[in-house]
Amino acid sequence: MNPSPRIPGFRFLHSPGPTRVPDEVVHAMSRQPMDLADPRVDALIDVCEHGLKKLLQTERATVFMYSANGHGAWEAVIANLVAPGQMVLVAGTGHFSESWALQAEALGSRVVRTPCVEGTPINAAAVEAALRDDVRHEIVAVFAVHTDTASGLTSDLQAVRAAIDAAAHPALFVVDVVASLGAAPFDMDAVGANVVLGASQKGLMVPPGLAFVAVDEAAMAVARGNPTSRFYWDWTLRKSALGYRKFCGTPPLNLLMGLEAALGLISQEGLAAVWLRHQRLAGAVHAAVQCWSEGGAVQFFCRVPQARSVSVTTVLTGPGVDPEAIRSVARERFQVAMAGGLGPIAGRVFRIGHLGDINPAMILGCLAGVEAAMSVLGVPYGPGGIERAIASLVQD
Ligand SMILES: *Cc1c(COP(=O)(O)O)cnc(C)c1O
């Protein structure tokens, strides 16, 4: 068989994860692993733990990292906090909240869900009502996905915190920042989250395979009292000064080298500047999609403009417009790789990722590639999306 032909230039990666890995991170990861007694191992783990805490804006939480993906971090949270038969409340946002709920059920939790209304963020009033209904305080934790990557929307975490407080419910507040950390503003301590979880391959710009949780004292106390059998995920076992214990075995050294480099890049640029860059680039994507939608064939999946994510834009296609065809022409002919729909919205949307190591030229190239693909397929999109994207970037 012929090897696949070389792609001249490079293919634009606009999946919302894995995202593009900066050269500095690739180079950092190409170093040799060290033996575990080498003091550089502990120093590396230390830098990553401190960098993550800084990024999460927490002084009070302990960071645990895993050789795992985001689903591993979900499992860590469930295994440590929820004994089989106990209850969690999952705030509906879309495919990711539902997948987390199903994973909790598979591990024996009882799950209360607030309704998931397509294209809308967390309904904080529904969270408050569900907590008030739980008069016996059986709900151990509220699980909230900050940015639902399938729906392309970001929820207001302060409103969820306020709902828990208004219900005077003792449930822990657990937040998934897999798709928002390093892209959208987030402050663990200010938002009063007890546990936060994330993964390497989205806003953190590191290849997949490294997950983490940040856990405060209240959540550690719940974990200590939880009799569920567990070992690999166990926070109390991992709370140690020894690297080997922290990772329940060999740490994923090269991913940690990559994370160290990525955290360095974020810190060099400045967190506020990173957030502003994401907001500007998302603004350009939203301007183009708004323009395209005027042709009637495509529209925003997220129906609440303020909730549109700075990480990913989900575009809903109308009858007779196949999002998979748009993706495949964009990728194969124009070298723009986007993501498709997940769960119940598979085959109805395409998703443009715009987080991580991205600049205006890349966004304009991506949008032009998508427009070109829609032209090839005769999709009646409102013309002038690129001009609107440029106007949005110029005015910022
Ligand atoms: C990607 C993602 C996950 C799952 O992460 P994996 O690494 O694919 O297991 C969980 N939550 C959110 C919000 C995500 O975007």
What are the residues facing 315 on neighbouring strands? 300, 350
Please tell me the distance from the alpha carbon of residue 243 to that of residue 40, in angstroms, as a whole number.
11
Please tell me the distance from the alpha carbon of residue 96 to that of residue 101, in angstroms, as a whole number.
9
Taking only Cα atoms into account, the Rg of the chain, rounded to an integer number of angstroms, comes to 21
State if residue 179 touches ligand 1 by the CB under 6 angstroms criterion: yes
Please tell me the distance from the alpha carbon of residue 47 to that of residue 64, in angstroms, as a whole number.
13
State if residue 71 touches ligand 1 by the CB under 6 angstroms criterion: yes
Residue 1: what pLDDT? 55
Residues 6+ apart with CB under 8 A from 136: none
Q: Mean pLDDT, to the nearest integer, of 94-101? A: 98
State if residue 15 touches ligand 1 by the CB under 6 angstroms criterion: no
Stretch (H or E) spanning 199? strand 195-199
Report the relative pairing of strands 153-154 and 147-148 from DSSP bridges.
antiparallel
Tell me which residue has tokens 């080298």. 257
Least confident range of 7-11, 203-207, 323-327, 373-377: 7-11
State if residue 199 touches ligand 1 by the CB under 6 angstroms criterion: yes
State if residue 210 touches ligand 1 by the CB under 6 angstroms criterion: no
Cα(70) to ligand 1 centroid in Å equals: 5
Q: Can you point out the beta strands (E) in 55-122?
A: 62-67, 87-90, 110-113
Nearest-atom number in ligand 1 for the CA of 71 is 9
Q: Which two tokens stand for residue 337?
A: 């790789």
Q: Which two tokens stand for residue 283?
A: 């603004």
Residues 6+ apart with CB under 8 A from 361: none
Q: Mean pLDDT, to the nearest integer, of 168-177? A: 98
Greatest Cα-to-Cα distance within the chain, rounded to the nearest angstrom? 66
Q: Mean pLDDT, to the nearest integer, of 110-117? A: 97
- Concatenating the DSSP letter of every residue in 249-270 gives SS--HHHHHHHHHHHHHHHHH-
User: Mind listing the pLDDT tens digit for each residue in 184-193?
Assistant: 999 999 999 9
Nearest-atom number in ligand 1 for the CA of 201 is 7
User: Mind listing the pLDDT tens digit for each residue in 314-346?
Assistant: 999 999 999 999 999 999 999 999 999 999 999
Report the relative pairing of strands 336-340 and 349-353 from DSSP bridges.
antiparallel
Among 77, 174, 178, which residue has the most ligand 1 atoms within 8 Å of its CB, making it the best to mutate?
Answer: 178
Residues 6+ apart with CB under 8 A from 35: 41
Residue 5: what pLDDT? 80
Please tell me the distance from the alpha carbon of residue 20 to that of residue 43, in angstroms, as a whole number.
26
Residue nearest to atom 8 of ligand 1 (CA): 70
Residue 396: what pLDDT? 74
State if residue 183 touches ligand 1 by the CB under 6 angstroms criterion: no
Domains and CATH numbers, the chain: 23-267 (3.40.640.10), 270-394 (3.90.1150.10)
pTM, two decimals, is 0.98
Q: How confident is the model at residue 151 (pLDDT cuts 50, 70, 90)?
A: very high
Q: Which of 277, 288, 275 is nearest to 364 (CA)?
A: 288
Please tell me the distance from the alpha carbon of residue 364 to that of residue 328, in angstroms, as a whole number.
19
Evaluate whether 42 touches 251 at the Cβ level (below 8 Å): no
Among 15, 66, 71, 213, which residue has the most ligand 1 atoms within 8 Å of its CB, making it the best to mutate?
Answer: 71
State if residue 143 touches ligand 1 by the CB under 6 angstroms criterion: no
Please tell me the distance from the alpha carbon of residue 255 to that of residue 262, in angstroms, as a whole number.
10
Nearest-atom number in ligand 1 for the CA of 146 is 13
User: Mind listing the pLDDT tens digit for each residue in 22-49?
Assistant: 999 999 999 999 999 999 999 999 999 9
**Angle, vertex CA 314, rays to CA 116 and CA 160, nearest 5:** 40
State if residue 149 touches ligand 1 by the CB under 6 angstroms criterion: yes
Among 77, 90, 102, 149, which residue has the most ligand 1 atoms within 8 Å of its CB, making it the best to mutate?
Answer: 149
Please confirm whether the linkage preceding 121 is cis (ω < 30° from 0): no
User: Mind listing the pLDDT tens digit for each residue in 215-271?
Assistant: 999 999 999 999 999 999 999 999 999 999 999 999 999 999 999 999 999 999 999
Residues 6+ apart with CB under 8 A from 222: 80, 81, 140, 141, 172
Query: What's 306's DSSP letter?
Result: G
